[in-house]
Structure 1
Amino acid sequence: MSAPPDRTALSACIITLNEADRIAACLDSLAFCDEIVVVDSGSTDGTREMAAAKGARVLERAFDGYRAQKDFAVNAAHHDWVLCLDADERVTAALRASIEHARDAGFAGAAGYRFARLTGYFGAWLRHGNAYPDRVMRLFDRRLGGWRGAREIHEHASVDGPVATLAGDLEHDAYRSLADQLARLERYARLMAGHMHAQGRRAHIANIVFNPFWRFLRGYVLRAGFRDGWRGLVYAYVEANYVRQKFIKLWLLDRGQRI
């Protein structure tokens, strides 16, 4: 698909691995983009075929890190303005309207755009605590930035220039189950501990004891996560446990132990 000559073209970039149950909704929400690039790292559940059937340009690449995979997708796009999503995310109607309005104006005055991310959790949306608004910068001019840095986990894009905020939410269907969340956060904790250790960071007793407590206090109390009911409590507790795991693993690495 090509953009009209008087409108800035926009590419959507997604990385995937076995996302057959979520990729269709993600791609449908990106129908307003001029191109959709999907970079897959070996799906066995039909993800690639589903994406191709939806009109996406599907590329295959061995996974060597979240940041590197997303950077590859951005560089593979045909257009300089890119919108980066994960397969478990969807652009809402309100966010789409904001993006289209900015695009119609030629994305003037900004090198990138951030917007709120709304996380679904056990059948409801989390609207408080550390979960929301969780603003992310995912729409940007790749000539002015991208997925930078050496960290492959909890990666984020940055640009050289002003970043504006758009109205509307990016829906995030983050976890298929509690088991999925716990397994994913354990993997993230291991990767983050390894990265921190490689960067020379060292863990202290205070990190293991107080950092998880602060994460829970900040999210559940100070940012009113309790207003999300039992879901807010579970989310805040699991998130605090992730922080605990991360620093325990770093503590072990500091002492030459395997994690």
Structure 2
Amino acid sequence: MSACIIAFNEADRIADCIASLSFCDEVVVVDSHSTDATVRIATELGARVVQRPFDGFRSQKQFAIEQATHDWVLCLDSDERVGDALRTSIEAERAHGFADAAGYRFARLSEYFGKFLRHGNAYPDRVLRLFDRRRGGWRGKREVHEAASVDGPVRTLGGDLIHYPYRSLEQQLLKTQRYARMMAEHDFARGKRATLGKLVLSPAWRFWRGYVLRGGFLDGWHGLVYAYVRANYVRQKTIMLWMLQNGQPVTTPER
């Protein structure tokens, strides 16, 4: 089984990610020409590092699994770690030759400024990350909020993929704005259009669904801030789509 990681300037996090994958037969890191010590640290920890210019999250992850020497691949971002219970579940399936599925999904548990979020839209956030690359991969054209898919049965494993997504609130806001623009551009290219109703109602619904209906309030102030920021992401994405369909730029034009 090969572990596949994509990375860019992750010197402060890549070591913990690789350490959590010690049960894998190999670790492949696809690095987008980091300017910090990411490559050196990954190499010293025994990972095989391949450098490739970044042209999209989906494309980078698909390239990563193509570099693996094993057909069963476990895909992580540098800010993720395999938890102990999840490792036990994966090893049990590997001992049986991954006989019952083409892929496996599992919950992702995110740390948010000192607290793990266990409610709302943040959890369980199940992701398909362990699969037979001969039966699937990172398919489709969407380069952001990318998801793997397989042809065949998918089973759910116990345990959590531990996620440390943000170093600061500023980083989260910048990241969500970037993702909002990428999603708006993707939706616009596919012919999707925003409406005045969506401009008003979609952000409110995202907040209400996550914070109230799914119990995000149970995570205290962390859950409240998370719900507000996620609702703002929907607001930004919808506004940007509205601007694009009305012939307005969403980025500063080059002069």
2:92 to 95, 101, 122: 101
Q: In structure 2, what is the equivalent of residue 79 of structure 1?
A: 70
1:249 maps to amino acid: M
**Does residue 228 of structure 1 match 2:228?**
no
Unaligned runs of 5+ in 1: 1-9
Tell me the TM-score normalized by structure 2. 0.98
**Does residue 156 of structure 1 match 2:147?**
yes
Q: CA deviation at 1:93?
A: 0.6
Q: In structure 2, what is the equivalent of residue 27 of structure 1?
A: 18
**Does residue 172 of structure 1 match 2:163?**
yes
> For the residues of structure 2 that align with 1:87 and 1:102, how far apart are their CA atoms?
24
Tell me the TM-score normalized by structure 1. 0.96
Unaligned runs of 5+ in 2: 251-255
**How many pairs does the alignment contain?**
250
**Does residue 114 of structure 1 match 2:79?**
no
SS in structure 2 at match of 1:84 = strand
> For the residues of structure 1 that align with 2:126 and 2:199, how far apart are their CA atoms?
27
2:142 maps to amino acid: R
Q: CA deviation at 1:133?
A: 0.3
Note the 1:32-51 alignment, pairs <5 A. Answer: 32-51=23-42
Q: Identity, % of aligned pairs? A: 68
Q: In structure 2, what is the equivalent of residue 182 of structure 1?
A: 173
Q: CA deviation at 1:121?
A: 0.3
Across the aligned residues of Structure 1 and Structure 2, the Cα RMSD in angstroms comes to 0.4
- 1:167-194 CA-to-partner distances (Å, cap 9, x unmatched) read 0000000100100000000000000000
- Report runs of 4+ in structure 1 exceeding 2 Å deviation: none
SS in structure 2 at match of 1:246 = helix
1:223 maps to amino acid: R
Q: CA deviation at 1:207?
A: 1.2
> For the residues of structure 1 that align with 2:151 and 2:82, how far apart are their CA atoms?
25
2:120 to 113, 129, 138: 129
- 1:68-121 CA-to-partner distances (Å, cap 9, x unmatched) read 000000011000000000000000110000000000000011000000000000
